[in-house]
Chains A and B, each alone.
Chain A
Amino acid sequence: MVASGKTYAKTLFRQIRGNIGRFAAIMGIVALGVGFFAGMLATTSDMHASVDAYYDRERTADAFVKATMGITQEDIEAVAAMDGVDTVMPAYVMDALMYTRNEKLLAVRIYGVPLERLGDAGDGGFINRLELLEGRMPVSDDECLANELGALPAGIKLGTVLTVSPENRSLEDRGDIYRVTEYTVVGIVNSPFYFSWEPEPCTVGNGRLDAVIYVNESAYALDVYTDLYLTVKDAGELTAFTGEYEAKIEEIVERLESLGETRSAIRYEDIIADARAEIEKAKAEFRDAESEAQAELADAWAEIEKGRAELEDARRQIDEGKVELADAKIKLAEETAKATEEIERGKRELADALIEIEDGERRLAEAERELEDGWREYESGHEAYRNGLRQIEEAQAAFDQGEREYLAGLEQWKAAGEAIEREELNLVRAESQLSQAEAEYNAGLTALEGQKAQFDILMFQVLSALDAAGMPFGSAEELLAALEADPAGPIYTSVGAILSGAGMPVTPDDLLATQQAIAYAEAELSAAAAEIAAGRAACSEGRRQLDQAKAEHSAAKVQLDVAGAEIEKSRQQLNDGWAQLASARAMLDDARAQLASGRSEIAKARRELDNGWREYSEGVAKLADAEAELAAEVAKAEEEIRTAEADLAKAEADYADGLRQLEEGEAEYWKAKADVEKELADAWQEILDAEAALGDIEHPKWYVFDRTSNVSYASFSMNAEKVAAIAKVFPWFFFFVAALVALTTMARMVEEERTQLGTLKALGYPTWAIMSRYVVYCGLASVLGCVAGAFLGFKLLPNVIWRVYRTVYRLPPLIAEFRWNLAILSSALALLCTMGATVSACGSALKERPAALMRPRPPKVGKRVFLERISVIWSRLKFSHKATARNLIRYKRNFVMTVLGVAGCTALLVTGFGLRDSIGDLAKTQFDEITKYDLYIGVKSSSGYDSVLSEFLSDPDKVAGYVEAFAETAYVIANGKRIETTVMVPMDSGELAKVVTLRDRSSGKGIAFGDSSVVLTEKLAANLGLRPGDTFTIENSDGETAEFVLSNIAEYYAGSYAYVNKYDYARAIGKYPARNVLMVSTLVVGSDAQDDVMSTLLSSDSVLGAQFISQIRESLDTVLNSIDLIVVVLIVSSGALAAIVLYNLININIEERKKELATLKVLGFHSEEVAAYIFREISILTVIGTILGFGLGILLHGFVIRTVEQPDFMFGRDVSPLSFALAGGFTLAFSFLVQVAMSPRLRRIKMVDSMKAVE
């Protein structure tokens, strides 16, 4: 074979054609492995190369210098002259807060660059060239180019006017720095320095740069440049991001740093020299000022001395005046005293006289009082006398009246006695008449009694007779009543007859008459008895009254006698009274005479006293005159003294005034002197300080940066490395499966050609020669696979991944190159795997002796499986199931290859669909469940809401609710890590839940945000290694730090936040958070409506900025769409993997069991039964592989997610059940398709093959 190349090639070609499926399988799996490995590794390089090309095209700075004291023309020349430096470009670069016409405040980096040089591509070219996207270049200093940053544009458009805000802390005087402070955007550009959407840090505002603008150099007023950009010679030939490039730049950076030290020293000397000159000038000025001040002070002192002399003169005059005045006062006092003494003597005499007069007056008054008392006594005695007279006269009259009444009473008493006697007589008479009438009555009564008795006897007799005669009557009364009732009736006749018959002398008429007579007598007698009784009663009443009158009469006699005695006594008393009255009268008359003589004496004394009084008043008048005269004279003298005194006082006041003025003048002088001296001292001190400060002047320093300090460069570099990281894990799997595929395939081939091998060996071919057939066969397949894989991988993968990164970077077109080094590396790895497998497959067979090889290989011993021990199950299984069960265990290589291949397929699919889930979850969970607000408004914290904003907020058609909060960009520091985040302090802790759902991801339990809550979002907490209860530090934008205790960790995907309650924040930071943002839940849908709302809001004075969250969501959707492409790539490659592995397995199984299958056909098995015999095994392996693949997929997905995740974003960690179902479904579908494709192979098996001997 080796001897004849032609034959060898022919045999090989035939071998390949005969086993084209196997050949393709090896090729395919190698292509997959190489494609993935080379493709993903190439992606990193392509990413580097593409951006590098972009850098080179835009002449991007390789390094730049920032000097603390600016960069001078000499500095620029020094750098330009440096070895290795290609071009340099100085620039003014300052970060400043700028506001737009609608008061939106932005953090802007202002580049003052020679824009006019942007056009020429020559050596004087521009570094960090700008790509004009729209608009035009500025033609004047107040025009600028703008480069918007971040995924969320600040809304800068052509025509936007940006003004440097006076709020800039470090820019107290804007004019010192900027010649122009208001710029109009005339062009939108891209810069190679700012192609990432990650925020660029800056020193103003919230610490994130919103935009970059480029203005003409002349818009700056600084006299030195701040930055110097430079490119390095031959650096363009190296690829950015590579170690080689970075090392080259590092070298330049080091040299630049040492140059910086030299240049800084020179700069320092310049600055010091300038300062010294200024100090000398200041000293001269100081000396001039000093002498001038001294002269002025001396003049002032002379004037003060003059004033003092004048004042002393005035003082002397005043003192003299005072002495004269004192003398005058003494004289006046002496004269006044003398006159006063004389007057006093007169006064004393008068007083004595007055005492005498008053004494006499007192005595007179006493005599008059006595006289009046005598009169009053007399008058009262006289009054008493008249009273006594009136009383006695009244008593006399009463006595007379009493005597008359007594006599009249006596007469009446006598007449009453006579009347009583007459009444007694009449009564006696009436009594005797009554007794007579009583006697007559008694006689009449007796007679009637007798008559009645006789009649009763008769009546008895009559009744008896009648009874006897048969006419019984109960009583006499009955009979009589009967008779009377019937005067001529039968009874009457009968009675009469009976009576007559009995011999009775009476008739019935007699009976009746007698009865009537008795009744009449009885009536008369009873009338008489009544009369007697009445008379008896009248008599006894008369007797009683008479007795009473007699008693009263006797009593009246007694009273009359008493009255008589009293009258006699009164008469005696009256007479005594009269006598007393007469004697009183005599005494009264006597007293009256005495009183009259006393009165005349008193009148005489009165006259004497009146004379005394007259003399006294004359004396008093004279004295008063004298006194008045004295007083007038004294007053006159005193007036003169007062005038003199007033004059003196005025002089004194004038003097004091003068003295005060003098003192003030003096004080002023001293103060002025002190001030001047202090000023001079201060000025001197300043000069001294300045001199001293010469030594303290900060040494200027150059800071040299390379591209790694550029956010875009660093972030892109990191992401490219991530791809490489995945490339280092992902494709190994393919290589491993490739090795297994090669191993099983080649083992099968060797097996099939066993006899041939034996023959060749017997013919004397060396082992390596025989083996080379297989090695070449497999090697050819591998090499072809490598070539195909490398081409596909280099083309496809970088493009797909580039597309994904384009959603987060502004990237140039991809430069996808064929990379020989990677192609060779990956091909070598692939070949190593397949060749190794081939050699190991051949080796074992070739060790056997030719004779053994020529013999058919003894069939593999059947093995019992565990399942057979469970006879309940085993005995129910069909033979084909039993065979399947045994086969699975029997061919271990096949088992491992197939399960791994299928598992890999499933794992890739799980990863692909899982990636969609993770990012989709992020978007969906974040914006459907967690973020409930859709509009974020930055407001001025200092003022209330203007009408535009408050109208909007209260419009129920647009706003469902909103929450006010304080938000600031800050660093969270813990465990030695420092991560930038947004601190959110809701004004009302309880309200936060209205706009943000805080919950624990794994349990799904809500977190109640209260007045003591401090919550971090999940990714942030994880990056810092914090757990609830841990302490961490927040450093706010003012550099203030405070410690907080973490209370909860909340699920959050897009962005990172620290939610702090306002009490803790205020307490810890020491300032009360003022609301500056609104999180609004709106009802505004659609971009047109949202644009309307935005323009309304931006016209509000209270609004600093506003943003609809849907924009973030849209950018996430873009990422999601680009992920779909990756999913397609993964589906295709996983399908290929599954197809190759399963094809290979089925192929081997069919080849190996061809005879068995033919036998089954002969035995009458239907073709589907034959197919099931083979495919059942495949299906079981597919299912096992799929299940294993789920596990692998979870691991792979987790690895990829963790690798590609951005610091601020947390992708969903979970793969959804749907994705598992899809992955499993796809895998099973692949398996099914392969089976369908392979079934014709089964049909083609001929039954006659069963007749053949064992190969």
Chain B
Amino acid sequence: MDYVVFDDVCKHYQMGTHTIKAVDHVSFTVDEGEFCVIVGPSGAGKTTVLNMLGGMDSCDSGRILLGGRDISALSDRQLTDYRRYDVGFVFQFYNLVQNLTALENVELASEICKDPYDPQEALAMVGLSDRMFNFPSELSGGEQQRVAIARALAKNPKILLCDEPTGALDYATGRSILKLLHETCKNTGKTVFVITHNQAITRMADRVIHMRSGTVADMYRNPDPVPAEAIEW
């Protein structure tokens, strides 16, 4: 049942003589297909958690399991493959390759995967069929983020990690993006993590993890998630 497991994970950074405990004995579990929101103020360690979960960073102690696989024990090379095949990533600033069209940005991801979605289908899923030949600079922020989501989805990953996906977007667009993510989660059955400092978003989550100062302050299942349209902030 426990698809994603953080078991007593620590991550420390050495800053001169000073040790910063970015993540300090964090443990939580998430079930498959859940829409999980990790919420907390800046410096709470939520991004570090996301990094470790996404295979971009390693933990100093504890274990991280995905579908029973111990990610924390993987080598760099294995981590790269893990990111390549198992993780989809949505950035706050979209991180599209400016020199490639929307479709090509999606292809960029699908090209390196084992069982990808068709890039055009992926773009259709995010509602961008008619803009797929445009360059990022020709798209609005929401559209760019949709492209980014399509790029993440096209890889057909096990989990979708979204780092402040609405952070650079206006309210309405942000809400539509959240809706898209939610729908994606429900329609594809993928486990989705959204990291945010926006408490409002927790209302639409299946599971909420509150973080503070590198520790899990609170973790609970939301028995009654509301649709994105209903959220206001």
CB-nearest residue of chain B relative to A887? Answer: B99
Cβ contact within 8 Å between B84 and A1163: yes
Q: For window 24-71 of chain B, which residues contact chain A by CB distance below 8 Å?
A: 47, 51, 54, 56-57
The verdict on B3 contacting chain A, using a C-beta distance below 8 Å, is: no
Cβ contact within 8 Å between A862 and B101: yes
Cβ contact within 8 Å between B91 and A1164: no
A1169 to chain B, nearest CB (A): 8
Residues from chain A with a CB closer than 8 A to the CB of B82 are: 1164
Residues from chain B with a CB closer than 8 A to the CB of A883 are: 97, 99-100
Kindly supply a per-residue 1/0 record for chain A positions 1147-1180, scoring 1 wherever the CB is within 8 Å of any chain B CB and 0 otherwise: 0000000011001111111110100000000000
Residues from chain B with a CB closer than 8 A to the CB of A810 are: none
CB-nearest residue of chain B relative to A885? Answer: B99
Cβ contact within 8 Å between A1164 and B83: yes
CB-nearest residue of chain B relative to A1156? Answer: B97
Among B108-116, B122-130, B176-184, B202-210, which stretch is in contact with chain A? B108-116
Cβ contact within 8 Å between A1163 and B83: yes
Cβ contact within 8 Å between B108 and A1163: yes
The verdict on A847 contacting chain B, using a C-beta distance below 8 Å, is: no
CB-nearest residue of chain B relative to A1158? Answer: B95
The verdict on A157 contacting chain B, using a C-beta distance below 8 Å, is: no
Contact of B93 among A860, A879, A890, A1254 (CB under 8 A): A1254
A1162/B56 contact (C-beta < 8 A), A859-B136, A1248-B51, A1251-B47 known: yes
The verdict on B87 contacting chain A, using a C-beta distance below 8 Å, is: yes
Cβ contact within 8 Å between A861 and B135: yes
- Prevailing SS type, chain A contact patch: helix
Contact of B92 among A1164, A1167, A1247, A1251 (CB under 8 A): A1251
The verdict on A1219 contacting chain B, using a C-beta distance below 8 Å, is: no
The verdict on B199 contacting chain A, using a C-beta distance below 8 Å, is: no
Contact of B89 among A861, A1163, A1166, A1253 (CB under 8 A): A1163
Give the A-B contact count at a CB cut-off of 8 A: 90
State in angstroms the CA–CA spacing of A1164 and B155 once bound together.
Answer: 10
A1166/B80 contact (C-beta < 8 A), A859-B136, A882-B104 known: yes
CB-nearest residue of chain A relative to B95? Answer: A1159
Residues from chain A with a CB closer than 8 A to the CB of B97 are: 879, 883, 1156, 1159
The verdict on B81 contacting chain A, using a C-beta distance below 8 Å, is: yes
Q: For window 176-220 of chain B, which residues contact chain A by CB distance below 8 Å?
A: none
Cβ contact within 8 Å between B135 and A1162: no
Residues from chain A with a CB closer than 8 A to the CB of B89 are: 1162-1163
Cβ contact within 8 Å between A862 and B111: no
The verdict on A892 contacting chain B, using a C-beta distance below 8 Å, is: no
Q: For window 849-871 of chain A, which residues contact chain B by CB distance below 8 Å?
A: 858-862
Contact of B112 among A882, A1165, A1167 (CB under 8 A): A1165
The verdict on B222 contacting chain A, using a C-beta distance below 8 Å, is: no
The verdict on B140 contacting chain A, using a C-beta distance below 8 Å, is: no
Cβ contact within 8 Å between B95 and A879: no
CB-nearest residue of chain A relative to B106? Answer: A879
Cβ contact within 8 Å between B98 and A862: yes
Residues from chain A with a CB closer than 8 A to the CB of B101 are: 862
State in angstroms the CA–CA spacing of A882 and B103 once bound together.
Answer: 12
Residues from chain B with a CB closer than 8 A to the CB of A1248 are: 51, 56-57
Contact of A879 among B56, B81, B108 (CB under 8 A): B108
Size of the chain B interface, CB-CB below 8 angstroms: 37
CB-nearest residue of chain A relative to B87? Answer: A1164
CB-nearest residue of chain A relative to B86? Answer: A1164
State in angstroms the CA–CA spacing of A890 and B97 once bound together.
Answer: 14
State in angstroms the CA–CA spacing of A218 and B97 once bound together.
Answer: 95
Cβ contact within 8 Å between A859 and B137: yes
The verdict on A719 contacting chain B, using a C-beta distance below 8 Å, is: no
The verdict on A941 contacting chain B, using a C-beta distance below 8 Å, is: no
CB-nearest residue of chain A relative to B152? Answer: A1163
CB-nearest residue of chain B relative to A861? Answer: B137
The verdict on A878 contacting chain B, using a C-beta distance below 8 Å, is: yes
State in angstroms the CA–CA spacing of A1165 and B77 once bound together.
Answer: 10
A1164/B137 contact (C-beta < 8 A), A879-B100, A883-B100, A1251-B92 known: no
Residues from chain B with a CB closer than 8 A to the CB of A1247 are: 51, 56-57
Contact of A1164 among B93, B105, B112, B135 (CB under 8 A): B112
The verdict on B143 contacting chain A, using a C-beta distance below 8 Å, is: no
The verdict on A208 contacting chain B, using a C-beta distance below 8 Å, is: no
B224 to chain A, nearest CB (A): 32
Size of the chain A interface, CB-CB below 8 angstroms: 31
The verdict on A1250 contacting chain B, using a C-beta distance below 8 Å, is: yes
Q: For window 869-908 of chain A, which residues contact chain B by CB distance below 8 Å?
A: 878-879, 882-883, 886-887, 890
Residues from chain A with a CB closer than 8 A to the CB of B100 are: 862, 879, 882-883, 886
A1244 to chain B, nearest CB (A): 14
B80, B97, B135 pick with most chain A CB within 10 angstroms: B97
CB-nearest residue of chain B relative to A1164? Answer: B84
Residues from chain B with a CB closer than 8 A to the CB of A860 are: 98, 137
A862/B136 contact (C-beta < 8 A), A879-B104, A883-B99, A1248-B57 known: yes
Residues from chain A with a CB closer than 8 A to the CB of B87 are: 1164
Q: For window 1211-1255 of chain A, which residues contact chain B by CB distance below 8 Å?
A: 1247-1248, 1250-1254
Contact of A1162 among B47, B54, B104, B105 (CB under 8 A): B54
State in angstroms the CA–CA spacing of A886 and B105 once bound together.
Answer: 14
Residues from chain A with a CB closer than 8 A to the CB of B117 are: none
State in angstroms the CA–CA spacing of A1253 and B81 once bound together.
Answer: 26
The verdict on B6 contacting chain A, using a C-beta distance below 8 Å, is: no
A1234 to chain B, nearest CB (A): 23
State in angstroms the CA–CA spacing of A1250 and B151 once bound together.
Answer: 15
Cβ contact within 8 Å between B135 and A862: yes
Kindly supply a per-residue 1/0 record for chain B positions 125-163, scoring 1 wherever the CB is within 8 Å of any chain A CB and 0 otherwise: 000000000011110000000000001000100000001
CB-nearest residue of chain A relative to B48? Answer: A1248
State in angstroms the CA–CA spacing of A1251 and B47 once bound together.
Answer: 9
A929 to chain B, nearest CB (A): 56
A1049 to chain B, nearest CB (A): 57
Residues from chain A with a CB closer than 8 A to the CB of B105 are: 879
State in angstroms the CA–CA spacing of A862 and B109 once bound together.
Answer: 19
Cβ contact within 8 Å between A859 and B84: no
Cβ contact within 8 Å between B137 and A858: yes
Residues from chain B with a CB closer than 8 A to the CB of A1162 are: 54, 56, 83, 89, 95
Residues from chain A with a CB closer than 8 A to the CB of B54 are: 1162
Q: For window 534-567 of chain A, which residues contact chain B by CB distance below 8 Å?
A: none
Residues from chain A with a CB closer than 8 A to the CB of B56 are: 1161-1162, 1247-1248
Residues from chain B with a CB closer than 8 A to the CB of A859 are: 98, 136-137
CB-nearest residue of chain B relative to A890? Answer: B99
State in angstroms the CA–CA spacing of A459 and B137 once bound together.
Answer: 184
A289 to chain B, nearest CB (A): 119
A1249 to chain B, nearest CB (A): 10
State in angstroms the CA–CA spacing of A1166 and B75 once bound together.
Answer: 13
A1079 to chain B, nearest CB (A): 70
Residues from chain A with a CB closer than 8 A to the CB of B107 are: 879
State in angstroms the CA–CA spacing of A878 and B101 once bound together.
Answer: 13
Residues from chain B with a CB closer than 8 A to the CB of A890 are: 99
B53 to chain A, nearest CB (A): 12
Residues from chain B with a CB closer than 8 A to the CB of A1169 are: 112
B47, B85, B135 pick with most chain A CB within 10 angstroms: B135
A1163/B137 contact (C-beta < 8 A), A862-B100, A1248-B56 known: no
Residues from chain A with a CB closer than 8 A to the CB of B136 are: 859, 862
Cβ contact within 8 Å between B98 and A1163: no
State in angstroms the CA–CA spacing of A330 and B107 once bound together.
Answer: 172
Kindly supply a per-residue 1/0 record for chain B positions 157-173, scoring 1 wherever the CB is within 8 Å of any chain A CB and 0 otherwise: 00000010000000000
A selection of 6 A-B contacts at a CB cut-off of 8 Å is A861-B138, A1159-B91, A1162-B54, A1163-B108, A1163-B155, A1247-B51
- Contacts A882-B104, A1254-B93 known; list 20 others, CB within 8 Å: A858-B137, A859-B137, A862-B100, A862-B101, A862-B136, A879-B104, A879-B108, A879-B111, A883-B100, A1156-B95, A1162-B89, A1164-B80, A1164-B81, A1164-B82, A1167-B80, A1169-B112, A1247-B51, A1247-B57, A1248-B51, A1251-B91
5 smallest beta-carbon distances between A and B, as pairs: A1164-B84, A862-B135, A1164-B83, A879-B108, A1159-B95
